[in-house]
Amino acid sequence: MSLAESIKQSVSSGVESVEKSAHKAISNPKQAQLADFTVDYTKDRGIATHFGVLQSDTETALKAGIRGPTLIEDTHAREKITHFDHERIPERVVHARGTGAHGYFKLHTPIPEVTYAPILNDTTLTTPTFVRFSTVQGFRGSADTVRDVRGFATRFYTQQGNWDIVANNNPVFFIQEAIKFPDVIHAVKPDQAKEIPQAQSAHDNFWDFIGRTPESLHHVMWHMSDRNIPRSYRMMQGFGVHSFVCVNAKGQRSFVKFHWKPKLGIHSLVWDEALKIAGQDPDFHRRDLYDAIEAGSYPEYEFGVQVVPEEKEHDFDFDLLDSTKIIPEELVPVRYIGSMVLNKCPDDFFAETEQIAFCTQHMVPGIEHSNDPLLHLRSFSYQDTQLTRLGGPNWNLLPINRPVCPVFNTHRDGYMQTQINKGPNYWPNRFGTPHPVAGKDGGQVLSPQPLPGGVKERVRGPKFSEHYSQATLFWNSMSDVEKEHIVGAFSFELGRCDDKGVIELMLEQINFIDNKLACLVAQSLHLQPPKEVHPNHGKATKFLSQINPVNSNNAFTAVGRRMALFVHDGFDFGIASGIKAAFAGMGVIVNVVGPRKGKINSSTTGTFLEAHFTFETCRSTLFDGVFFVGGRGPEYDKLKRQGRWLHAAREAFMHYKTVGASGSAVDWLNKYALPGEIDRLVDNLKSEGVVAEQGVVLAGSQVKEAPMLIKSLTDEMSKHRAWGRDVSAIAA
């Protein structure tokens, strides 16, 4: 297109800087608002400077002669380079590595006895949301699958303003007082001298801090468990951590903890798998979230509350204001009152996911601060950090941060002010606007809060001094498999420490949690096991284990899982296509893995499947299960020398995943991939039958249709992992 044609087209269309057409029909009010700030670059447009001057060349700078020096008068080149030089903003000090998605929240059970907040009372509302998942320790470029706390920050765009629940995947915090937050983060971040290790807590500084901070031990138990290497953001709980205060229309106050429970259940990776994925696909969790949404398998979470009336605040042996403690669900059950669905990926990662600014103090009328000391200074910190990260006080005007309700106040000026404010900038004024709004008309009126007597001093409540009971409760509540993983995690983390004194101090602290745990960790580190100094209280709760089926918080389903279908030229089309079609209808994502991308021909003339991955570009770690489709022909005759097939089968088996095979691939799996591991299962297999045991599913050579096979695969994948499988002889 010539410059003249470009100008003509631009003028005729008005060169609107904002695309507004098509957006007015959007029912989600937040999406409609964002549409007014969205520029569509997929249409044919002429390139222009920031100030609207169309350019004929954006690839060659202005020079004094063909081989002469570049001229500073080239304003387009200078503008382009200058903007590029300033594209990066400071990353978050914590939670720098993250990803997000849009969605909506729907209430199904109102709680007027707890709060008068409309979002928790009006079941006709559909409230837009944005969620940002994140890791805590690493920089923006770190990997997704490191052992770390995960952020689960949710913004509700309500008609009463933005409400943020800045949650984590652990219900407790490392510390009781926010004044210690710089210390714990400095300790866990890379060493100041060498800037290593990245996104890891396995080093002297972190464990030195923990060993001297026993209030952290409950959180450390969560950190060492499988909870902090989640399988997916879609399979991860979220907790508001703090006890908030909710107020009903009568002015009655209650302490409330907020919970998110994933519909797909709470599931994790195994450690070897997490380590490998960090190198194979550092964006694993990010990609998993996007792929699910784009496939229409929308992540969904139930929203629940634990409610303690104010008059029962002191009925527990722990303090409700202590964020290192949970309220066991046997004492106060979680009431699930609504659900959230994530159904849209961001259009612009920077403008939405990176620039969203969550703040714990963003609350709507009916929801308030408690006296939790961690919450109070968090509320200061989150507001304060945005001033630096986003360049000034007007970050609320960024599209992703704007409320969907009208906003009028007397705030003015500041860096990057985008509004043209007409009228008075003070109150009271002769215009009578913008004016305070009475509580009966929706204005926020904070409830009267009783103040404890005493003197001004640096002190904590008496119940804040007990640090071991709930750490022991967590340990007691784990299954044998989970306990084994916790021992392994402690052994890995402390094994990476160089200072023997740090290791010995941590073993002393672990011994206060449970002597057997301390002895197992000491044994793995070849140290003297400690003697018991603090008896285990023996209490447990059924709501913490991810494996124990009696935990009603968990769910086991194949929906949302990912299966790899390994095929070679000459594969059995009936089996492969049957699995693919059936799983697609169930919400299981099936990816075909072949010797090349694109068309893989079957043994049936004219039939084929499209491969998404090659044997070289995928690993079993990226899937919940692997299935090897049998076939015939020269490629299948050479399977015993196919290293990637062998590795995929052994690795998936070692990680307790579902492993399946059909037809000729059964013999290959038994003789070459897993020799001596599945002999008995193969002996029980009939040519027209299907057998399954401990996550291994085999289909005989005469199985021509998929129904029996599909049921067995679905049943095994639903279990998440075959934890009863003996993998001691497998290395992959």
Looking at the structure, tell me whether residues 224 and 150 fall in a common domain.
yes
Domain of residue 81 covers 61-87
Residues 490 and 370 in one domain: no
**Residue for token digits 């001297």?**
212
> Phi then psi for 546, rounded to 5 degrees?
-90, -10
Together in a domain, 516 and 479 = yes
Of 374, 401, 428, the last residue of a domain is: 401
- Count up the domains in the chain and report the number: 5
Residues 597 and 611 in one domain: yes
Dihedral sign, Cα of residue 423, residue 424, residue 430, residue 435: positive
- The answer to whether position 332 is within a domain reads yes
Q: Residues 267, 558: contact at Cβ < 8 Å?
A: no
Q: How far apart are CA 131 and CA 234, in angstroms?
A: 12
Final residue of a domain: which of 514, 547, 580? Answer: 547
Residue type, 709: L
Q: Is 331 helix (H, G, I), strand (E, B) or coil?
A: coil
**pLDDT number for residue 705:** 67
Question: Same domain for 70 and 157?
Answer: no
Listed in sequence order, the residues at least 6 apart from 68 whose beta carbon sits closer than 8 Å to its beta carbon are: none
Q: Torsions phi, psi of 594, nearest 5?
A: -135, 180
Which are the catalytic amino acids? Answer: 95, 168
Tell me the CATH number at 522: 1.20.1370.20
Rounded Cα distance between 166 and 159, Å, is 19
> Which CA distances in Å does 278 have to 14, 187, 271, 282?
48, 23, 11, 5
- Report the pLDDT value the prediction gives residue 548, as an integer from 0 to 100: 87
Cis ω before 675 (30° cut-off from 0): no
How many angstroms separate the CA atoms of 521 and 508, rounded? 11
- Say yes or no: 148 and 177 in one domain: yes
- Residue 213 inside a domain? The answer is yes
- pTM value surpassing 0.75: yes
Q: Which residues pair with 158 in a beta bridge?
A: 161
Per the annotation, does 116 bind a ligand? no
Residues 6+ apart with CB under 8 A from 89: 354, 389, 390, 391
The amino acid at residue 34 is L
**75 and 119 co-located in one domain:** no
CB under 8 A, 24+ apart: contacts of 42-45: 44/1, 44/9, 45/10, 45/15
The partner residues of 101 in beta bridges, in order of sequence, read 131
Residue that has been written with the tokens 């971040």 in this structure: 189
* Residue 430 is assigned to a structural domain of this protein: no
Statement to judge: residues 628 and 711 lie in one domain: yes
Shortest CA distance to 123 belongs to which of 336, 442, 338, 307? 338
Measured distance CA(310)–CA(307) in Å, rounded: 9
* Shared-domain flag, residues 66 and 34: no
Indicate whether 459 belongs to any domain.
Answer: no
Closest by CA to 173, choosing from 140, 221, 138, 130, is: 221
| 145 in any annotated domain | yes
Residues 345 and 390 in one domain: yes
Which amino acid belongs to residue 435? Answer: H
CA atoms within 13 A on the CB side of 220: 31
Segment 626-646, tens digit of pLDDT: 999 999 999 999 888 889 999
* Measured distance CA(649)–CA(696) in Å, rounded: 11
Q: Would you say residue 456 lies in a domain?
A: no
Nearest CA to 340 out of 532, 640, 119, 542 is that of: 119
Is residue 559 a contact partner of residue 584, using CB atoms and an 8 Å limit?
no
Distance of alpha carbon 8 from the chain centroid: 48
Nearest to 559 by CA among 441, 726, 718, 353: 718
Q: Within a 10 A sphere around the Cβ of 294, how many other Cβ atoms? A: 10
Per-residue CA distances from 97 to 135, 139, 283 (Å):
6, 6, 10
Specify whether the CB–CB gap between 121 and 107 falls below 8 A: yes
CATH number where 295 lies: 2.40.180.10
Residue among 399, 403, 421 at smallest CA distance from 355: 399
Query: Is 625 in the same domain as 519?
Result: no
In a domain, 429, yes or no: no
Q: How many CA atoms lie within 13 A of 206 on its CB side?
A: 24
Same domain, yes or no, for 39 and 104?
Answer: no
Reduced DSSP (H G I as helix, E B as strand, rest coil) percent helix, strand, coil of the chain, to 5: 35, 15, 50
Q: Report the half-sphere exposure of 410 (CA within 13 A, side-chain side).
A: 12
Per-position b or e across 146-171, b if 16+ CB within 10 A of its CB = bbbbbbbbbbbbbbbbbbbbbbbbbb
Residue 362 lies in a domain: yes
For the chain, list residues with pLDDT below 70. 1-26, 704-705
What does pLDDT average to over the chain? 92
